[in-house]
A and B are shown apart, each in its own frame.
Chain A
């Protein structure tokens, strides 16, 4: 049974940092492209970043480039999203998800809420 479980969300002040984690199980994690997607309250879905199976390649949406860092530990079946210089507009539910092909998401976590507010 595939499971993706995010953690690390919470309330942070503008300019602050937060590290999200995602624990994966039930599929060949080290062979999978993985991605973070976010959804602001009452808004649509937004791609944030994705990472190659080895972790050697990452790409970021312009809205987070230079502030967020996506990494993975294949030995621990875990993903990490380091978020720095957070802004109010980063407030969202953050989902980790698996890309079953380079273009299709088949599994999603339940999401973790990040709130950036003073």
Chain B
């Protein structure tokens, strides 16, 4: 199972909005509404930001939102803040023999 494709880096100025894409195929992102997004700061464990495409766990800022169209899921961060600078990974359920796959990861830089 190949990793989902994410842009290596995305940047934006404080207050701006950015969107990170996560492109899969018809057996993962396109097939299931089971896309999650995780934020990882350097040296730390990942943190769940979005699950089931567009749901936010309790405690996650509403500046984070998720969506999906066909084989591509997206994470949008609005009102970008310095603390949002981190790596972001998507993950999807898949119909492969091992049913989980991560994205390649995106480094978000706040200019």
Contact = CB atoms under 8 A, between A and B. Distances in A.
Contacts of B93: 102-103
A60 B97 CA distance: 9
Interface string B96-111: 0111111111000000
Interface stretch (B16-24, B43-51, B62-70, B76-84): B43-51
A46 interface: yes
A44 B3 contact: yes
B48 A104 contact: yes
Q: In the complex, which range does the number of interface residues on chain A fall in?
A: 20 to 34
Given A45-B46, A103-B51, A104-B52, 9 more contacts: A44-B104, A45-B89, A45-B91, A47-B98, A50-B100, A59-B99, A103-B34, A104-B36, A104-B48
22 contacts: A44-B3, A44-B104, A45-B38, A45-B46, A45-B91, A45-B105, A47-B98, A47-B100, A59-B97, A59-B99, A62-B97, A62-B98, A103-B36, A103-B52, A104-B34, A104-B52, A105-B36, A105-B48, A106-B57, A108-B45, A109-B45, A111-B45
